[in-house]
């Protein structure tokens, strides 16, 4: 970070895939609020937002116990029944 002490106008950091594929390198640039453009290999996973966001706590019943997920329907009756059941379960858990 010696370069930052030179008081030059800010310029974006440019790097090839040897640096761009390194998650810790990109994270260090973000922590220092530096603009950057790095090359990454096609197999490198990138996210627009932080994937380590906190998971919301599950909803609780009136008595304070965690909401229970209903068992699967006895008869599936096609794809719609499965989707309805899944939506209902996710809503009870506070995810959907």
Give the DSSP per-residue string, 28-94.
Answer: HHHHTT--EEE---TT----SS-TTPPPPPPPB-TTSPBPPPPPPPSS--SHHHHHHHHHHHHHHHT
The CA-CA-CA angle for residues 43, 47, 49, to 5°, reads 175
As a whole number, mean pLDDT of residues 71-90 equals 73
Residue 82 has pLDDT above 90, yes or no: no
Phi first, then psi: give them for residue 37, nearest 5 degrees. Answer: -135, 110
pLDDT > 70 in the chain, percent: 79
Strands 36-38 and 13-15: parallel
Mind listing the pLDDT tens digit for each residue in 30-70? 898 889 999 999 988 777 777 777 877 777 777 777 666 66
């Amino acid at each position: 970070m010696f370069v930052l002490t030179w008081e030059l106008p800010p310029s974006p950091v440019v790097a090839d895939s040897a640096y761009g594929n390194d998650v810790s390198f990109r994270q260090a640039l973000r922590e220092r609020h530096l603009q950057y453009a790095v090359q990454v290999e096609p197999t490198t996973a990138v996210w627009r937002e932080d994937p380590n966001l906190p998971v919301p706590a599950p909803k609780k019943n009136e008595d304070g116990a965690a909401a229970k997920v209903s068992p699967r329907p006895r008869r599936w009756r096609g794809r719609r029944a499965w989707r309805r059941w899944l939506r209902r379960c996710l809503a009870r858990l506070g995810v959907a």
